[in-house]
């Protein structure tokens, strides 16, 4: 070590050489990585599309890579056999949008409190939140259903002559799907971690100017964390859009179904016509993709806003 550092002119150290090498190759390297992964991501959806564009009877014939013979029957059948399709689409939109808006707001509020404020029981609450994520959903399904639906105590809590309901009574109601999702431990945890890494300077300046916590939150923190909020919004929307087990338990009549519940009709009891299932799944995927593409703008904006850190 000492000999090396004393020698002059100083030879290139390993890390220097690494950086040189990196500077030369980084652009093609990154493109290679991105393109490879893009292919990996596109392939399954491409094959799904090909499969769903072939007639049911030719589903298993070659070629695998091209929809020959071509047909739109599967898509037409999915729409045609399911007259309630528009209704389900609307239901899915109501649920996903409501949950997304409320969850992003509430989780940002909670995350901000955990990241920036001091209050009694903070540690306990935060850890309790983490622990609550560790219990698998299968065993909390029934108690959660009791709370949303018929109530913890069958027939309600009787005090004298008054019977108090112990549940929300939201069975077969979109509200029952929405309610438990309006804020989640996952979301709060995520926003907490984001806000922890957000620089404090702006907030401190605002506080000097006499702005209260709510003012800071709404006027400074929310606009500043646009990307993070969008990330959470997207994750939430996607999760709610695809949610299956909880709506299945809550919703009863076909008119109230969400899209995944309705589309699952094509998974038969004994057999499944896979072309139709895949066609249906594309109907389910498309809206989120459109939404995602629309919101791209904001992501790109905030990248530009940080002034592009070159490698």
Partner 1 sequence: MKALRMTMILTAMLALILAACAPATPQVVKETVEVEKSVVVTQEVVKEVPAQRAVVRLSGWAASPEETALLQSLLLDFTAENPDIVVKYEPITGDFWATLKTSIAAGTEPDIYYMDIFQFPAFVQDDVMLPLDDLMASTGTKKEEFIPSLIDAFSANGKVYGIPKDFNTLGLFYNKDLFTQAGLAEPTDDWTWDDLKAAAQKLSNPANNVYGLGVPADAGRFPIFVFQNGGSIMTPDFQDTLLDAPEAIEAGKFYTSFRAEKIGAIPADVGEGWQGTVFGKGQFAMVYEGGWLIPYLKQQFPNINYGVVTPPAGPKGEGNLIFTVAYVISKNSKNPEAAWRVIHYLTSEAAQKKVMESGFALPTRLSLQESEYLKTNPASAAIFRGALQGARPFMWGLVGSDVNEQMTKALERVYLENMPVEESFKQAAEVIRQKLAELK
Partner 2 sequence: MSTSSTPLASALALRQKARRRREALTAYTFLLPYLFIFLVFTVFSIGYAFYLSFTRYNLLSPPQWWGLEGYRRVLCIESWFPRPENAPKPVCDDLFIRKALPNTFKYTAIVVPTQTLISLILAFAMDQKIRFRRLFRTIFYLPSVTSSVVISLIFVWLFSPLGVINQIFHLKINWLNDPRYAFYTIMMVNIFTTSGTLMLIFLAGLQDIPTALYEAAAIDGANKLQIFRYITIPMLRPVIFFVVTVGVIGCFQVFDQIYVMTAGGPLDSTTTIAYLIYKWAFRDTTVKMGQASALAFILALIIFVVTMLQRRVIEGSGTVGQ
- Interactions with partner 2, residue window 15-74 (CB under 8 A): 15-16, 18-19, 22-23, 26-27, 30-31, 33-34, 37-38, 40-45, 47-48, 51, 64
Long-range contacts of the stretch 293-300 (C-beta < 8 A, 24+): 295/230, 295/233, 295/234, 298/226, 298/227, 298/230, 299/227, 299/230
Site string for partner 2, 259-288 (x = CB under 8 A): -x-------------x--xx--x--xx--x
Between 241 and 257, CB nearer to partner 2: 241
CA pair distance 225, 229, nearest whole angstrom? 6
Q: How many residues can be counted in the chain? A: 311
Angle between helices 226-242 and 185-196 (to 10 degrees): 160
Between 94 and 185, CB nearer to partner 2: 185
Concatenating the DSSP letter of every residue in 130-149 gives: HHHHHS-HHHHHHHHHHHHT
- Interactions with partner 1, residue window 78-137 (CB under 8 A): 80-84, 94, 98, 102, 105-106
For residues 186 and 127, is the Cβ–Cβ distance under 8 A?
A: no
What six digits make up the tokens of 246? 């909880």
Which of 111, 150, 180, 187 is the binder for partner 1 (CB under 8 A)? 150
Between 22 and 47, CB nearer to partner 1: 47
Which of 88, 112, 246, 257 is the binder for partner 2 (CB under 8 A)? 112
In angstroms, give the least distance from the CB of 295 to partner 1. Answer: 22
Specify the residue for token string 């050489």. 17
Given partner 1, partner 2, none, residue 150, with its beta carbon under 5 to 8 Å by kind, binds partner 1
Which of 19, 224, 273, 288 is the binder for partner 1 (CB under 8 A)? 273
């Amino acid at each position: 070590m000492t000999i090396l550092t004393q020698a002059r002119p100083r030879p290139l150290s390993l890390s220097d050489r690494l950086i040189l090498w990196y500077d030369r190759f980084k652009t093609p390297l990154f493109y290679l990585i991105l393109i490879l992964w893009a292919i990996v991501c596109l392939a399954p959806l491409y094959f799904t599309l090909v499969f769903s564009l072939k007639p049911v009877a030719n589903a298993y014939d070659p070629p695998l890579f091209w929809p020959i013979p071509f047909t739109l029957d599967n898509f037409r059948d999915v729409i045609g056999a399911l007259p309630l399709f528009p209704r389900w689409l609307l239901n899915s939109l109501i649920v996903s949008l409501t949950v997304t808006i409320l969850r992003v707001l509430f989780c940002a509020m909670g995350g901000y409190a955990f990241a920036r404020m001091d209050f009694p029981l903070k540690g306990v609450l935060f850890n309790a939140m983490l622990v609550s994520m560790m219990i698998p959903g299968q065993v909390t399904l029934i108690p959660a259903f009791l709370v949303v639906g018929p109530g913890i105590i069958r027939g309600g809590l009787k005090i004298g002559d008054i019977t108090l309901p112990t549940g929300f009574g939201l069975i077969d109601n979109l509200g029952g799907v929405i309610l438990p999702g309006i804020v989640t431990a996952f979301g709060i945890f995520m926003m907490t971690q984001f806000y922890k890494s957000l620089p404090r300077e702006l907030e401190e300046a605002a506080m000097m100017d006499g702005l209260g916590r709510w003012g800071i939150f709404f006027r400074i923190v929310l606009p500043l964390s646009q990307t993070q909020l969008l990330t959470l919004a997207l994750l939430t929307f996607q999760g709610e859009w695809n949610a299956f087990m909880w709506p299945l338990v809550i919703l009863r009549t076909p008119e109230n179904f969400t899209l995944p519940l309705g589309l699952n009709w094509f998974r038969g009891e004994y057999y499944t016509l896979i072309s139709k299932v895949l066609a249906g799944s594309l109907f389910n995927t498309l809206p989120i993709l459109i939404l995602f593409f629309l919101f791209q703008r904001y992501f790109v904006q905030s990248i530009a806003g940080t002034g592009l850190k070159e490698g």
